[in-house]
Every structure is written in structure tokens, then in C-alpha cells.
Structure 1
Amino acid sequence: MSTFIKDFIERETINRRNFLLASAAGIATTAIPGVFGDGMARAALTDPVCAWSYRDRANPYWLSIVSGGEAFVESIGRKKEDLVNLINEGSSEKCLADIKALLAQHNGNCAIACDANDSPNARPVAEAVQAAGGYVSTIWNKTDDVHPWDFGDNWVSHMTWSDEKPAEETARILFKAMGGKGGVVHLGGIAANNPAVERLNGLKNALKDFPDIKLLDAQPADWDTQKANELMAQFLTRYGDEITGVHCANDTIAYGVLEALKAEGIEGMPVVSYDGNLDAVKLVMEGKILATVFTNPHWGGGISSALSYYAAIGKFKPSEEPHEHREFYGPSIVITQEDAEKFKAEYLDSTPKYDWTDFWGPSNGGIVYK
């Protein structure tokens, strides 16, 4: 195996430290005076600041999200550096504080795309944006009892991905590789994240059809490579040879798992993951990962920025759109060794060009609640 996994862990640690140091002089820790508006959306904002609020610049998934946001701002004649990066490092409190500070600094003249980090944080983010008269489009995390249309036009849209079915599909691929028997461990994301919950549910759904496979353990690895490495090492100590397959909630978790397996001299352990990052797709091509799932984060990042911006400047009025345009699923593709090379050529070797005014073209319909 190449050394990129070890290099990735080291790079991730360095990047996280650098961003934490940089934030000491940034917007997140600066008290910026400002008075929020009366909570009413303005008819249209003028040249709003575009921002992306997200977890981790060291993670390839979030790099792809931001690249989409940058591609969008370039499409409206700005430089990609004009996109404001609000990096919360997995803190919902920092996510909300950063957004409030940005709104105060620009008197609400903001078009924001955001992953609220955990589901309960979506409401206070939306409330802050509405109070300031800004606009926000969110992805991934919100609770089922709150909706963009509850906030007039200011909460423009929410996009998530229907992760349960693809995660179930990767689990079935894993179980077949295990010969339909044995023990599996699951390394998940942040416990309160919607995708973490759905990906674990997908695994559990598949287990119903494989009575000879036992779920030995399922623990959160917080989407983090180093935590995944440590957790997998603990699993190997605790369960040893009982583990015959590993279900990972994302690609960066899988990198940590593979490194832990390598450290114990274990080869050929079936592993599946999620996100469809370039390095993971290469590992699928090599047979080191059985399958991963691509959610087109570049498109997701760009279209979320586009929706908030075009709503802000009055190109369309969110409250006049049907609910399936306010809450919708993004696209997903399961990638196996059979189709990995073709997928890589189409989506990763070159970036597809998107029409950022085609707001719902690649989407997969309105969100369905159970």
C-alpha cells in the first residue's frame, strides 16, 4: 500500500493546528459590534458577501465542497478568494458564533452556505440569519421538526443525502465479501449528525438479511482519521479474529482503519466506506476498499452557495417555490472496483462544469420523513 494514508494523517494534524492558530486573529474570536435587523427579509440585497461555514479544511470532502463554492463565486465574476471560509472545527458553538459575527460585520448583507455541524444547531443558525436579514442554504444536518419555510425566505433551502439506502448497499457488498458470516464493526461519524445516523441504520437494515453476521461494535469516530485509527486499534485488541469486516461511515475514517490493520499485519480485510474521495476511489481500484459512495460534494457546495446568493439578490423568491425545492436530496453514486476507473475519469480527473442557475437539476427529489 502507498504511504498516502500515513501522510494524510500527518497533513490533517498539521492543517488543523494551522487553522486553529489562524482563527485566533480571525472573525470567530473578534467581537464585532452590530445590530441585527428586525427579522424581515429585505427585498433584495446588494452585492452580498458569500460565505461557506463548514467543519474541516483538511478533509478532502470539505475541500471539494468549498471548491464548488469557489467555482460558483467565480461564475458571478468574483475571485474564488472572495468566498469567506468559516471553519468551525467540529464545534456547533463556533459555527453559530462565526455566522453571527459575519452577519454583524456586514449588517446582514450575506449569502451563506452552511453545514450546521449537528442537527439541533440548524435552528439557531436560521434564527440568527433571519434576524439579521441575511440568507442561508444548509446541507446535511437539521432536525426533522424544523423546515426552511418556517423562516420565510431567509432560510432558502436544505439539502441532504438519502444515506440509508447507499450505506445498506455498501453493507451488502461487504457481507457478501465476508461470505455471509462473521463479525463486523462500524466506525461512525459524529453521533448527532444525520448522515452518521443514516449510515449506521443502513448497516443495520442489511444485517436483517444476514443472520450469520454479528455486529460486534459500533462507535463514533467523529469523521476523523486519527480517531478512527485509534478506535480500530481498540477494536482489534478487544475482538481480535472475530472481526472479519469493517463498515466505515466515510472515506477518511477508512484511511485510519486501513492504517490500523496494516500496523497489525492484517491484509485483505473487507472494508467499505463513503464519500467517493479521490484517494478512496484509487483504493477501490486497487481492491483495498470494496466500495465507496459519491455524493458530488463539488456540486453540493456550489449549488448551496448559488441558492443563497440568488435568493439574496432577488433572482427568485424561496417562499414561492414548492417544498421539494426548499428541502431536497442530493445525488449519490455507489462505486465498486468494476466501475471505479470510469467514475474517476468522469468525475475526479476533471471537474464537470455546472450551470449554477439550474438549482435542482441533479437533485433526487424532496426529502421524505419517516
Structure 2
Amino acid sequence: MRNNYSRLTATAGLLAAGALVLTACSGTASSDGGGAASDLPESVDLKGQTVASLFTSLNNDYYSSWDQGAQRAVEAFNGEYVAMTNEGDPATQISQFQQQVDAGVKIIFVTAPDPSSVGEMARIANENDVCFANTWESVPWESPFDFGDQYVTYHSNHSYQAAYDTVVSLFDEMGGEGNFVHLTGHPGSTPDTQRTLAVDDALKEYPDITLVDRQPGEWNRDDSRNAMAGIISRSGKDIDGVFGQNDDVAIGALNALTEAGIEDVPITGMDGNEGTMELIQAGDIYGAYSSLPQWSAGFSFVQALDACMSGETPAPLNRQLWSGGIFVTADNVDEYLDTYVGDNDPYDWVKMSRVAYPDDWDPQNKVEVLNMEEMWSWEPQPAGYELPEEYSAALPELDATNAEWDEHWKLLRRD
């Protein structure tokens, strides 16, 4: 990886028709979180250069939070932030990515609407010396090593573990028995598949929980409301618990249950959006797992930034990472809202950077090495497949790498 810093140039308005674009000039604030640091180290000062974030939509609370964290993080490094949405169309995202590259942008971090666009963006990045970081979606058994050094990092919340812990809490809230409905997300997406596997594994451990129905909620309130209404029509009102694959799905289920006059059904979601937290406060939703969307966006950006500023590709085990989150119920919802949501910005974004703080960088969340064989255990390996050589050679250092991440986590520590 060549040092791209000297080649960073500002975007000059080459934007896709119909795409939502937000730009913000960098500000001046302290490095304690929120805004650009007045004592920003020269090694990571973007000096107004453009950084692009590509994601699905702002008509979704999760991505609104992602956008907020992304902007705050970029501005903390004196960058000019550009956001572009694809409204669920992979081809649009690829076009937007190419246009940002053509405009000279050298740091791009994304979430994809599904895995299909990731490989093409990685190819474009590698051919054009763009530092590319990707969150959530990936084709099974594919990795950054398949595309070159410019695909800096693939990062995902540990969706299987998060969903398993969430649904077990829901089953316990149901008293370990009763009729259960599972509303999924978009079939085929990476987190949807892993969350469904987690629910299935939990069901095996709770024989008195009956899966009444499972329908796709498509990550949004309208589809999930319609799906839940159909389940109620077919199966009746004897429903004791609902697992929504994300927060909007959970809220859609709640809306359908309310319209049918069904009350006091524990519902869980996964995202950690402000509206969901307010429903938890009101007692309408039992709980939701937060993958800390603002943090996820900023962390993804910082991984790409460090690679660009240093000219060095991360160590092999740091190119695929899992992160943690918080399960929120009535017991901790007030603290969560006061710390992580809306105008609250608890993160010291610059402190996340290993380039800015070589000795005392801090991820400010749980981070660990993504285990490829565990991550993709549900999908058979392609014929003749072998784990990437660099990754396999580094596996003896897995425990030490995880320990390093853990030792550096000081701010916002949750034990």
C-alpha cells in the first residue's frame, strides 16, 4: 500500500443523480469527542480533504445514526464529509463509489445493501489506490485478502452472538415457554443469515418455545407490520414473544400487534435506535441489542484513515474484525440514552487512531479478530477453497491480537 495522503484531493461535485448527499466543513473543538480536534496530530490531519461514506438510506434510524457518527468522526480529523445513499440498489452504490474515486477521493467506507456490490468496490479501490473499509456485508468465505491491500478492513458486529444472547433473554422473559414469532430482515444478507442461525440454535435449547411463524420483515417497519398482521390473521392472537431482526422490524411487529388489540407481548429488536429506546422506556418493547451504529461508522473510517495516512496495510488479523455492543432493557435504557444516542457523542474519535496515538490508541468498544471458520460455518466452502495464506499464517497470534485490543480498550469500558 502506497502512502495516499499526498494524493488526497477534494471531491468536485461528481455525484450520482438522485443520490442524497450531505457535506459538512470541518470545525474546531477538543479531542474529547465531537468535532475536529484543536490539537490534532499532523500525522492524521486531513486538512479539509474529502472522505466519502456510502450506505443504504436515511429513511432508516440505524443509518441515520451511522451517518451521524461518520460525520463526527471525519470532522474530528479535519476532513470534509460526503454521504451518499443507494436506497437498497447495489448498482447505484457501485456507480457512486466509482464517481467518488474519479473525483479523487482516497478514503471511502461503506455498508452495502447486500454482499453483491462489495467485490466490485474492492476491485475499484485496489486499482485506484483508494483506502476502502467495509462494514456488515460480505460474500461467504470472501475476504479483503482476495482483492488486495487497499481493501483495508472488513468489520462486522458479532451478529450471531448478539442475536443468540438477545433471543435467549427474550425466551427467558417469556418464562421459557409459549408461542414465538420470528420476523427476519432481507433474506441472503450477512447479518440476517447469522441472526436466523442464532435463533434456530436457541430454539433447540428451549423445547417449550414453539416457533409459530417466520416471515421476512425486509429491515423496515411497513413490510414487518404487514408480515406480522398476516401471521396474526393465520395463527390467531395467542402470541407470547416476537424477535425482530432489527429495530424497525420490531417496531413494525409492535404496530401490527397494537392494531390487533394484542398487548403485553415481549418484543426484541437489534440496532439501538433512539425511537426503540423510547419504546423500551414506555414498556412497549422488552429489549434491543445495540451494535452502536455511530461507533461502527467512525471505527470503520478510522481503520481506512490509518492505512492511508501510514501507507501501511493493517496486520493480517486486523483486516477482519468483530465488534461488540450493548443489550438494552428497562434496566439500563436511561443510561444508554444519556450516553450514546442523538446529540451525545461520547467517543474520542482521534484516540481510536493508531497513527495518531501509537502507544495508547483506544477502540472504545470491544473488538476482536473475526474467526473466518466460525463466521462462515453455515456456508459450505467453495470447491478447492483454502483460507487466505496471510490469515492462516497469522492465526498463532490470534489470542495475542485479541488481548491487544482488550488491553487498549479504556474509554467507555463495559465489564
2 CA distance for matches of 1:326 and 1:251?
28
For 2:95, what is the secondary structure of its paired residue? Answer: helix
> Which aligned pairs between 1:107-256 and structure 2 lie closer than 5 A?
109-256=105-252
For 1:241, what is the secondary structure of its paired residue? Answer: coil
For residue 352 of structure 2, the aligned residue among 355, 358, 361 is: 358
1 CA distance for matches of 2:19 and 2:279?
37
For 2:327, what is the secondary structure of its paired residue? Answer: strand
Counterpart position of 1:90? 88
Counterpart position of 2:340? 347
Q: 1:74 to 1:161 in 2, by over 3 A?
A: same
1 CA distance for matches of 2:205 and 2:264?
24
> Which aligned pairs between 1:266-281 and structure 2 lie closer than 5 A?
266-281=262-277
For residue 297 of structure 1, the aligned residue among 290, 293, 296 is: 293
Contact 2:107 2:304 in 1 (8 A): yes
Task: Give the CA deviation at 1:159.
Answer: 0.6
1 CA distance for matches of 2:109 and 2:86?
13
Task: Give the CA deviation at 1:25.
Answer: 4.9
2 CA distance for matches of 1:91 and 1:231?
23
For 2:215, what is the secondary structure of its paired residue? Answer: strand
Cα RMSD over matched residues?
2.2
2 CA distance for matches of 1:25 and 1:151?
30
Q: 1:25 to 1:188 in 2, by over 3 A?
A: closer
Task: Give the CA deviation at 1:338.
Answer: 1.4
Q: CA offsets per residue over residues 122-175 of structure 1, 9 Å max, x none?
A: 212101221222121000001232222333321111110111122122212222
Contact 1:88 1:95 in 2 (8 A): yes
- In structure 2, what residue type is equivalent to 1:336? T
Q: 1:151 to 1:48 in 2, by over 3 A?
A: farther
Contact 1:116 1:125 in 2 (8 A): no
Task: Give the CA deviation at 1:224.
Answer: 0.9
1:368 aligns with 2:353: no
Contact 1:303 1:356 in 2 (8 A): no
Q: CA offsets per residue over residues 203-239 of structure 1, 9 Å max, x none?
A: 1111111112121222221111111111111111111
2 CA distance for matches of 1:90 and 1:253?
16
1 CA distance for matches of 2:171 and 2:192?
20
1:338 aligns with 2:331: yes
2 CA distance for matches of 1:296 and 1:356?
18
Q: Percent identity?
A: 26
Contact 1:56 1:90 in 2 (8 A): yes
Counterpart position of 1:104? 102
Task: Give the CA deviation at 1:357.
Answer: 4.7
| TM-score (structure 2 length as normaliser) | 0.73
Gaps in structure 1 of 5+ consecutive residues: 1-21, 29-44
Q: CA offsets per residue over residues 314-341 of structure 1, 9 Å max, x none?
A: 32511xx322311111221111211222
Aligned residues: 325
> Which aligned pairs between 1:66-85 and structure 2 lie closer than 5 A?
66-78=67-79, 82-85=80-83
Contact 2:73 2:349 in 1 (8 A): no
Contact 2:19 2:85 in 1 (8 A): no
1 CA distance for matches of 2:275 and 2:268?
13
Counterpart position of 2:316? 323
Contact 1:323 1:366 in 2 (8 A): no
For 1:138, what is the secondary structure of its paired residue? Answer: strand
Larger mean CA deviation between 135-144 and 321-330 belongs to 321-330
Counterpart position of 2:306? 310
Task: Give the CA deviation at 1:26.
Answer: 5.0
Task: Give the CA deviation at 1:95.
Answer: 1.3
| TM-score (structure 1 length as normaliser) | 0.82
Q: CA offsets per residue over residues 273-297 of structure 1, 9 Å max, x none?
A: 1111111112222221111111111
- In structure 2, what residue type is equivalent to 1:322? A
Higher helix fraction (1 or 2): 1
1 CA distance for matches of 2:305 and 2:218?
31
1 CA distance for matches of 2:250 and 2:218?
12
